[in-house]
DNA sequence: AAACAAATGTGAGAAAAGCTGACATAAATC
DNA sequence: GATTTATGTCAGCTTTTCTCACATTTGTTT
């Protein structure tokens, strides 16, 4: 997984932050979770921790609802997407895939901005 | 400012998250702030909120300290960097700069992954 | 219209996390 | 051996988050 994606999946945002970022209420956010639309991690104290991807997901949900779709509909959309992804995994790799993957790898290799090798968010050092 | 940079400057991480990310103690993090090495924002409840850039800064500080540098030294380094940036601002724009800027802009224009135009993390909608 | 379901509001009581300020301590430096 | 530097620890208080329950609103169904 590329470092940018990693950063987007890090569950580091408490619900208060998500409230500000999405302009949803805590009640709404927890309700959408109850409905299985988002699944935040929990910290040691059992508090919900969200990733940037979760925030995007919540903004999407907000949009869908504003469009008149109901939660059952949204649930269906996400189930469908997941099914698509599963199917994708079965599909054999084409030449075109190879080219695209190679291209992505090159971008990733050149795009890092770590300050040095000793300590980094994404590659933890062994404890001393 | 490009959206990636924007994301890195968003002060959304409470100290508990930063502790996990940096493996520093709360005491250390607050002490470095006391020494002017980081300046987290505060939320409405007066709690410190850190950005990803702040986290990088803290990891840097950790490295410097591990290298035997003391806080006065680190302070000096950051003052120096800030002075450099100030000087940079005075300098006129060269042809090379223009090329680099144009290149960055193009990358940014093609690299966005917003789901749609209505709601987004980085361009808030007007309240209804 | 009455009843129902969906989505959200609201409040209580408890737990977790964060704050400041003070004092303690280990290691390095004078 | 006295100071300074960097960090640990504790106490008392505030803020945030948790779950659970009940209320309200709006659109749909009998």
Residues A103-122: tens digit of each pLDDT: 454 334 433 333 343 444 43
DSSP H/E element including B90: helix B71-90
DSSP letters, B6-60, are: HHHH---EEHHHHHHHH---HHHHHHHHHTTS---EE-TTS-EEE-HHHHHHHHH
Q: CA-nearest residue of chain B to A123? A: B21
The domain that holds B79 is classified in CATH as: 1.10.1660.10
d(CA A39, CA A29): 10
Confidence of residue B121 (pLDDT cuts 50, 70, 90): very low
Q: Is residue A122 part of a domain?
A: no
C-alpha B96: how far from chain center: 26
Residue A124: inside a domain, yes or no?
Answer: no
> At A104, which helix (H) or strand (E)?
helix A95-111
d(CA A53, CA A68): 23
**Does B55 reside within a domain?**
yes
Please judge whether B118 and A63 are an interchain contact, meaning their C-beta atoms are less than 8 angstroms apart: yes
- Report whether A23 contacts A3 (CB < 8 A): no
> Chain B closest CA to A59's CA: distance in Å?
6
Residue A13 and residue B13: Cβ atoms within 8 Å?
yes
Q: Tell me the mean pLDDT in the region A41-67.
A: 96
Residue B117 placed within a domain: no
CB contact under 8 A, B121 and A56: yes
Nucleotide nearest A24 (Cα, C1')? C8
Domain count, chain A: 1
Dist CA A99 CA B108 (whole Å): 22
Q: What is the pLDDT of residues B57-76, one digit of tens each?
A: 999 999 999 999 999 999 99
Residue B42 domain-assigned? Answer: yes
pLDDT score, position A109? 42
| pLDDT for the residue A88 | 77
Residue A41: phi, psi to the nearest 5?
-75, 175
Smallest Cβ–Cβ distance between A121 and the set B14, B55, B119 belongs to B55
- Bases in strand D with any atom closer than 7 Å to a protein CB: 5-9, 14-19
Range of the domain at A100: 3-111
Q: Which residues touch strand C (CB under 7 A)?
A: A 25, 27-28, 31-32, 35, 43-47, 65, 70-72; B 14-17, 19, 26, 30, 46-48
In this structure, is residue A121 part of a structural domain?
A: no
């Amino acid at each position: 997984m590329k470092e940018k994606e990693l950063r987007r999946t890090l569950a580091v945002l408490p619900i208060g932050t998500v409230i500000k970022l999405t302009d949803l209420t805590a009640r709404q956010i927890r309700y959408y979770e109850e409905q299985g639309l988002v699944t935040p991690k929990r910290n040691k104290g059992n508090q919900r921790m969200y990733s940037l991807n979760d925030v995007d997901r919540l903004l999407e949900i907000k949009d869908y609802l504003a469009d008149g779709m109901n939660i059952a509909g949204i649930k269906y959309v996400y189930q469908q997407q997941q099914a698509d992804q599963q199917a994708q995994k079965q599909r054999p790799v084409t030449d075109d895939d190879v080219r695209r993957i190679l291209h992505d790898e090159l971008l990733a290799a050149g795009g890092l901005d770590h300050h040095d090798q000793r300590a980094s968010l994404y590659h933890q050092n062994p404890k001393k």
